Copies of this chain bind each other. A is one copy, B any other.
């Protein structure tokens, strides 16, 4: 039996199969520092134990996207090592805050399979869950990826296309946010006087700043997440491939855009859920990322007067500032657009 791990091919998956992913990870203050240093994130709740305590957290929680990347990274060797494309995310919910010292582990359940008509590839749908050391789910999301077959003549392992919610349900938003003492939220320290009620549906915000990505940065980030997807690290192979370059992990783009969004959304301190997202185009080292946001909806949460949820579109571009909000143009996107993310952020009311 081969000792090295080739990853799973389409025909290796089974509907209902539950995969325990390797390498649990104790998240530490070191991971948090690196996250800050890689993206420059400035949300006060995640930056300061004192600020977090004042409003009702036991200490500063770990950035939601750092939790996402660590859980996602664990799934890669089993789910997407042989993926051709990462097709989508749905119903991503942050369920419990994560703190330094928590140990994260992850499982994925195969909830859908659909062979492509060329019989060379198939789409695998998984529901991945991250757990803390007590076995409590801290994060759950669905993603679907197109995976190669090892053997094109192999029978399809099944066919089922799950129905997926377009939106994280209101009742699932805010589970990872304890009840806040809103009066203790210091808006000067938060970075803006603008809160939930100051944002309106349809409003667009240019996040102004741009940030250029270096190879060392995205590699350090992606290894921090113990993500082993080959396209991010191996110039020898990628140099002979489609782009001639290492591809930057899509999650790196999400974190850059989220950090940039502080300038305009400073008090949107918590990513409560991700409704969906599309990596419209690849990002490469040397490119400069810009971003803008659109407020899609303002949602008052059931039984919560402390925080409200903004449904936001976060659009990132490369090498193109966003004062005029480059966007979809019919079926296509402006050629500068690299990310179109639809998510829920919490903001004090």
CB distance from A284 to the nearest CB of B (A): 13
Q: For chain A residues 39-53, which have a beta carbon within 8 Å of chain B?
A: 39-44, 47-51
Contact B288–A234 (Cβ < 8 Å): yes
Contact A234–B209 (Cβ < 8 Å): yes
Give chain B residues whose Cβ lies under 8 Å from the Cβ of A190: 22
CB distance from A281 to the nearest CB of B (A): 16
Contact A50–B216 (Cβ < 8 Å): no
Q: How many residues from A make CB contacts under 8 Å with B?
A: 85
Produce 1/0 per residue, A147-161, CB < 8 A to B.
000000000000000
Give chain B residues whose Cβ lies under 8 Å from the Cβ of A191: 5, 22-23, 77
Contact A26–B42 (Cβ < 8 Å): no
CB distance from A31 to the nearest CB of B (A): 5
Distance, CA A101 to CA B37, complexed state (A):
18
- Asked whether any CB of chain B lies closer than 8 Å to the CB of A208, the reply is yes
Produce 1/0 per residue, A182-222, CB < 8 A to B.
00000011111010001100010111111110111101111
Residue of B nearest to A318 (CB): B236
Distance, CA A190 to CA B28, complexed state (A):
20
CB distance from A63 to the nearest CB of B (A): 13
Contact A60–B26 (Cβ < 8 Å): yes
Contact A26–B4 (Cβ < 8 Å): no
| A20: contacting residue among B189, B215, B321, CB under 8 A | B189
Q: For chain A residues 99-147, which have a beta carbon within 8 Å of chain B?
A: 100-101, 103, 105, 133
Produce 1/0 per residue, A65-99, CB < 8 A to B.
00000000000010000000000000000000000
List the number of copies, as a whole number: 3
Given contact pairs A215-B214, A220-B217, A234-B211, A188 touches B20 in the complex (Cβ within 8 A): yes
Residue of B nearest to A207 (CB): B4
- Asked whether any CB of chain B lies closer than 8 Å to the CB of A177, the reply is no
- Asked whether any CB of chain B lies closer than 8 Å to the CB of A319, the reply is yes
CB distance from A261 to the nearest CB of B (A): 10
- Asked whether any CB of chain B lies closer than 8 Å to the CB of A29, the reply is yes
- Asked whether any CB of chain B lies closer than 8 Å to the CB of A36, the reply is yes
- Asked whether any CB of chain B lies closer than 8 Å to the CB of A265, the reply is yes
| A263: contacting residue among B5, B60, B227, CB under 8 A | B5
Produce 1/0 per residue, A13-35, CB < 8 A to B.
00000001011111011111110
Q: A residues engaging B (CB < 8 A)?
A: 1, 3-6, 20, 22-26, 28-34, 36-44, 47-51, 60, 77, 100-101, 103, 105, 133, 188-192, 194, 198-199, 203, 205-212, 214-217, 219-224, 226-228, 230, 233-237, 246, 263-266, 286, 288, 290, 319, 321
User: What are 13 inter-chain pairs, A to B, with CB distance below 8 A?
Assistant: A3-B194, A4-B263, A22-B189, A24-B47, A31-B33, A39-B223, A42-B226, A49-B101, A49-B103, A50-B133, A214-B216, A228-B263, A234-B288
